[in-house]
Structure 1
Amino acid sequence: MSARNGSGSREGTIARAAAYFDEGRYLASLRRLVAVPTESQMPGREEALRRYCKEALAEEFDGMGFDLSVLDNPRDGRGPALLASRVEDPALPTVLVYGHGDVVRGMPERWRAGLDPWAVTVEGDRWYGRGTVDNKGQHLIAIQALRALIEERGRLGFNAKVFVETGEEVGSPGLRDLLKRDAALLSADAFIGLDGPRQTTFMPDIKLGARGGVAFDLVVKLRDHAAHSGHWGGVLADPGFILSHALSSIVSRDGRILVKALLPASVPDSVRRACNDLVLEDVPGTPVPDAGWGEPGMSVTERIFAWTSVIVLAFVTGLPDAPTNAVQAEARARLQVRHTVDVPGGSIIPAIRSHLDRQGFPEVEVVPVMERDMFSASRTDPDHPWVRAVIASMERTVGRAPNVIPNSSGSNPSDIFQEELSVPVMWIPNSYAGCHQHGPDEHALAPLLREGLVLMAGLWWDVSEGRMPARR
């Protein structure tokens, strides 16, 4: 099918995107991208990360009229990013499309026999390979849908900037500095990222940010050495019990958070509505929420997407694998607080300190952990005009409104883009809960990939037709 300058149709654009999938073009591109071992968690992979940007992914833009730039990371030893820009008219809206080309460790020794993390293996609707969903297969959807629009009508009708970083799996080091340095290159009216799993396999999602996370250690160190339990048990204070009581003062027996400063003062009505309208799917192998655990009077979706959680990641005193008959000298627990934008991340550790002092635990130290374990909360209002327009486009394509998730329960760099570029942030995921991302046997579901191409082709057409909010 040849391009038709200025003409074409929404249906034609969608048909082209679907044909890429049905004729094997999408799969061929995905095989080529997956073959590059972009393990950002492994030393010595800088060359692969750069090759992914400069060669493998760059090839996807051939003939599309995009200007390509490989942006060096401000952090030494970290992978670069690819920026592909097509600016047709500065007066038109600009969409910044996000993806990440790095993956977690391949772990080939842990994959099922016959599978290779660096090759796409097709078994029915399951396409196995590292990055098939996290995240090469997802940003490839956005790019090929843009191609379908250009081939259908000969132009975009808006400005597109595709930004693919290579450090997301290690916390996006240097990303904020890169956005500060290259703010003019990356300026946009809206951010659309493709990453993560959907809540269901039968209806699409739009996610609007992420809960933040703050991790810290609670430490009770009472003496330099352990002491014989026969001689000193019952007269020396036991750090394990002290720490246990301190923990129970933070979260109750039934999972209710007892530190009021960690909780939202209120939940916006738009967020509460979005949570309670969510449709969930039971996926075999995933946990079932425990009845009676957590904040009373709230739905499961409100507790996941609109509330705070406090988790004990680890708790140790003595040597659990080789206990000795001794009153221990020290006990330590690592906690993680996940929170929405309604709770300032910087207030959490001071709130814990104040709470422990009020509860009579001055000996419990609160020790922040590395920045790597802390990330900020973000959320675009579900009633934002861009959000409503994207929802309408998705509904126009598949005949029903998507799940609208106020903020992802996992982590992503939404906060960085919101804060540095002042854009509404929206994520359109194309995976599912059973995809095994970050583990062996990562795989995509072919029907979700195909639907993603269709959804994005329809969305790009609607942006082209001026159905999105006017330029800021």
Structure 2
Amino acid sequence: MTRAQLLQSLAGYFDGGGFESDLDRRVAWRTESDAGPPGEVLAGYLHEEMVPALARMGFSCEVSANPDPRGGPFLVARRVEDPSLPTVLTYGHGDVVNGQSTQWREGLDPWRLRIEGQRWYGRGTADNKGQHSINLAALEHTLRARGGRLGYNVTWLLEMGEEAGSPGLAEFCTRQREALRANLLIACDGPRVSADRPTLFLGSRGGVNFQLQVKSRDRAYHSGNWGGVLANPAIVLSHALACLVDAKGRLLVEGLRPPPLPDDIRQALHGIQVADGEDDPEIDPAWGEPGLTPIEKLVGWNTLEILAMGSGSPQRPINAIPASATAFCQLRFVVGTPWQDLEKILRAHLDAHGFPMVQIELTFGARATRLPLDNPWVAWALTSMAASAQRPVTLLPNLAGSLPNDVFADGLGLPTLWVPHSYPACAQHAPNEHLLADVAREGLQIMGGLYWDLGEARGLPWH
């Protein structure tokens, strides 16, 4: 079979209902991981759904408990044609965020695949069951097309706790370093830059979640009796937040601003449009760092967001000065930001602006990663993807969101290529999550082309 015939067979698998059947079965698994301790259904998805699919292709599979009790199990599947051949590592996650069943549009059920035109609704269709189902099917068809021999080894890592922050993933990969030894990572998660633009990204922005709190006293006091002589923690915290980010979203903490945008990153992002889909929100052009385009703000810069805040009782306000105020914040950052020093940097900044009473608590952190744009794998992947899609491919130096790519790039020392099969308005993590049919169909062919081209060993930068 030729490469062109492989792409035709993948189109036939999609058009004939094969992909629909596989995804429907996988969506039905209620693999929520962000709603408490991991349940048995997480292991069930691996044992009953993933292991049979991989074993059918000749993988040896092992499901292991998570070293962190907060996280679900891991599956490591290995297909070794010859120990002397190079190895490709791929990654996905079978867990999903909570279903939010009561908030879906009438006629939709998060645990049943429903097709309405281009939109395939169901929890996990976009994140990540649809995406790893595309990879699995593309690999199986490629294996068949090449007569049962790929010309390289494949290791598959599936986790069941990504939506809970990937607890235990780094420790597990450290313990399993030998089993996960590879030359390259090719994985799929996150969205394309837009639905009609095949996309390759090389890492992700990092993220740090932190909480700021002002606790002025143990209880509230009547605002008529004490207003004007007691400091109001909500007002104090509001002014503290305003010294971190200005009224137009510009980050004011000098130590948390990124290095200047490199020329190669600026050139790679030139001309890429943001929010050009019919379901995308209208962006605010004046928001954020001045002098940058919207895509440069998203991909090449740092942003500090307030995710939630509260003081007193908003549901039933009373005439009282509240005892405390809290803001839940997040820094999204690019490579080169001293994020490990965030607490120290924030502390110095707040103190210098007269806010020593603001308490800081870090709750989560993940580093930023970015494969250099001149790495030989980048040009190879872009060429392969464009040949399959028959149109140009958008290169993002890194995803605007965060992924556990640091485990692979830094922990395992791998070049990392990410090929997303979703799009920005997919309602990921929200009610009415969906996958677009034409993106999934094209994704199957793009992945099939990549797996085929990896078997053409000449000229590939394996070392």
What amino acid is aligned across from residue 74 of structure 1 in structure 2? P
Alpha-carbon distance between aligned partners in 2 of 1:225 and 1:347, rounded to the nearest angstrom:
33
Distance 1:98 1:231, change over 3 A: same
- 1:394 is displaced (CA, Å) by 0.8
Instruction: Select the residue among 61, 64, 71 that pairs with 1:68.
Output: 61
Q: Check the 8 A contact 2:124/2:433 in 1, yes or no.
A: yes
Instruction: Select the residue among 295, 301, 316 that pairs with 2:310.
Output: 316
- 1:428 is displaced (CA, Å) by 0.8
- Aligned equivalent of 1:133: 126
- Aligned equivalent of 1:113: 106
Q: Check the 8 A contact 1:104/1:169 in 2, yes or no.
A: yes
SS state at 2:411 partner? helix
- Aligned equivalent of 2:342: 348
Alpha-carbon distance between aligned partners in 1 of 2:162 and 2:405, rounded to the nearest angstrom:
12
Tell me how many residue pairs correspond in the alignment.
462
What amino acid is aligned across from residue 71 of structure 1 in structure 2? S
1:9-49 CA distance string (max 9 Å, x none): 21122122222112222222222222222222345763222
Identity %: 45
SS state at 1:157 partner? coil
Alpha-carbon distance between aligned partners in 1 of 2:427 and 2:183, rounded to the nearest angstrom:
34
- Aligned equivalent of 2:9: 16
Alpha-carbon distance between aligned partners in 2 of 1:437 and 1:252, rounded to the nearest angstrom:
29
Equivalence map 1:34-113=2 (5 Å): 34-42=27-35, 46-76=39-69, 78-113=71-106
Query: Which region of structure 1 is more displaced relative to structure 2, 69-78 or 155-164?
Result: 69-78
- 1:174 is displaced (CA, Å) by 1.1
Q: Does 1:458 align with 2:449?
A: yes
Alpha-carbon distance between aligned partners in 1 of 2:254 and 2:448, rounded to the nearest angstrom:
46
Q: Check the 8 A contact 1:46/1:78 in 2, yes or no.
A: no
Q: Does 1:238 align with 2:232?
A: yes
What amino acid is aligned across from residue 97 of structure 2 in structure 1? V
Alpha-carbon distance between aligned partners in 2 of 1:339 and 1:149, rounded to the nearest angstrom:
37
- 1:93 is displaced (CA, Å) by 2.4
SS state at 2:382 partner? helix
Distance 1:222 1:43, change over 3 A: closer
- TM-score between both structures, scaled by the size of structure 2: 0.94
What amino acid is aligned across from residue 453 of structure 2 in structure 1? D
Alpha-carbon distance between aligned partners in 2 of 1:241 and 1:356, rounded to the nearest angstrom:
15
- TM-score between both structures, scaled by the size of structure 1: 0.92
- 1:120 is displaced (CA, Å) by 1.9
* RMSD, aligned CA: 2.0
1:286-323 CA distance string (max 9 Å, x none): 32221322111111111111111111222333323333
1:241-275 CA distance string (max 9 Å, x none): 32222222221222222211111122222222222
Alpha-carbon distance between aligned partners in 2 of 1:171 and 1:310, rounded to the nearest angstrom:
19
- 1:184 is displaced (CA, Å) by 0.7
- 1:210 is displaced (CA, Å) by 1.6
Alpha-carbon distance between aligned partners in 2 of 1:144 and 1:21, rounded to the nearest angstrom:
10
Distance 1:323 1:35, change over 3 A: closer
What amino acid is aligned across from residue 115 of structure 2 in structure 1? V
Instruction: Select the residue among 293, 305, 315 that pairs with 2:287.
Output: 293
- Aligned equivalent of 1:278: 272
- 1:424 is displaced (CA, Å) by 1.5
Q: Check the 8 A contact 1:93/1:470 in 2, yes or no.
A: no
Instruction: Select the residue among 201, 210, 219 that pairs with 1:216.
Output: 210
Alpha-carbon distance between aligned partners in 2 of 1:146 and 1:170, rounded to the nearest angstrom:
28
- Aligned equivalent of 1:424: 415
Distance 1:462 1:295, change over 3 A: same
- 1:281 is displaced (CA, Å) by 4.8
Distance 1:227 1:32, change over 3 A: closer
- Aligned equivalent of 1:445: 436
1:25-79 CA distance string (max 9 Å, x none): 2222222222222222345763222121112122223542222222322223632
Alpha-carbon distance between aligned partners in 2 of 1:354 and 1:201, rounded to the nearest angstrom:
43
- Aligned equivalent of 1:376: 367
Instruction: Select the residue among 194, 204, 215 that pairs with 2:198.
Output: 204
What amino acid is aligned across from residue 83 of structure 2 in structure 1? P
Alpha-carbon distance between aligned partners in 1 of 2:334 and 2:100, rounded to the nearest angstrom:
33
Q: Check the 8 A contact 1:176/1:420 in 2, yes or no.
A: yes
SS state at 1:13 partner? helix
Q: Check the 8 A contact 1:279/1:403 in 2, yes or no.
A: no
Q: Check the 8 A contact 1:340/1:378 in 2, yes or no.
A: yes
- 1:467 is displaced (CA, Å) by 5.7
What amino acid is aligned across from residue 460 of structure 1 in structure 2? Y
Query: Which region of structure 1 is more displaced relative to structure 2, 238-247 or 290-299?
Result: 238-247
- 1:365 is displaced (CA, Å) by 2.2
Query: Which region of structure 1 is more displaced relative to structure 2, 20-29 or 214-223?
Result: 214-223
Alpha-carbon distance between aligned partners in 1 of 2:210 and 2:280, rounded to the nearest angstrom:
27
Instruction: Select the residue among 406, 409, 413 that pairs with 1:415.
Output: 406
Instruction: Select the residue among 141, 148, 161 that pairs with 2:141.
Output: 148
- Aligned equivalent of 2:159: 165
What amino acid is aligned across from residue 425 of structure 2 in structure 1? G
- 1:279 is displaced (CA, Å) by 4.0
SS state at 1:391 partner? helix
- 1:450 is displaced (CA, Å) by 0.7
Alpha-carbon distance between aligned partners in 2 of 1:159 and 1:66, rounded to the nearest angstrom:
10
- Aligned equivalent of 1:4: none
Alpha-carbon distance between aligned partners in 1 of 2:305 and 2:446, rounded to the nearest angstrom:
36
Alpha-carbon distance between aligned partners in 2 of 1:374 and 1:445, rounded to the nearest angstrom:
31
Instruction: Select the residue among 384, 392, 402 that pairs with 2:383.
Output: 392
Q: Check the 8 A contact 1:218/1:335 in 2, yes or no.
A: yes
What amino acid is aligned across from residue 278 of structure 1 in structure 2? I
Query: Which region of structure 1 is more displaced relative to structure 2, 354-363 or 42-51?
Result: 42-51
- 1:224 is displaced (CA, Å) by 3.1
Q: Check the 8 A contact 2:37/2:70 in 1, yes or no.
A: no
1:195-236 CA distance string (max 9 Å, x none): 122121212011222211112222223333433333433233
Equivalence map 1:327-346=2 (5 Å): 327-346=321-340
Equivalence map 1:252-267=2 (5 Å): 252-267=246-261
- 1:143 is displaced (CA, Å) by 1.4
Distance 1:253 1:112, change over 3 A: closer
What amino acid is aligned across from residue 8 of structure 2 in structure 1? A
Query: Which region of structure 1 is more displaced relative to structure 2, 444-453 or 58-67?
Result: 58-67
Distance 1:284 1:375, change over 3 A: same
Distance 1:73 1:226, change over 3 A: closer
Query: Which region of structure 1 is more displaced relative to structure 2, 308-317 or 73-82?
Result: 73-82
Alpha-carbon distance between aligned partners in 1 of 2:371 and 2:125, rounded to the nearest angstrom:
27
Distance 1:421 1:444, change over 3 A: same
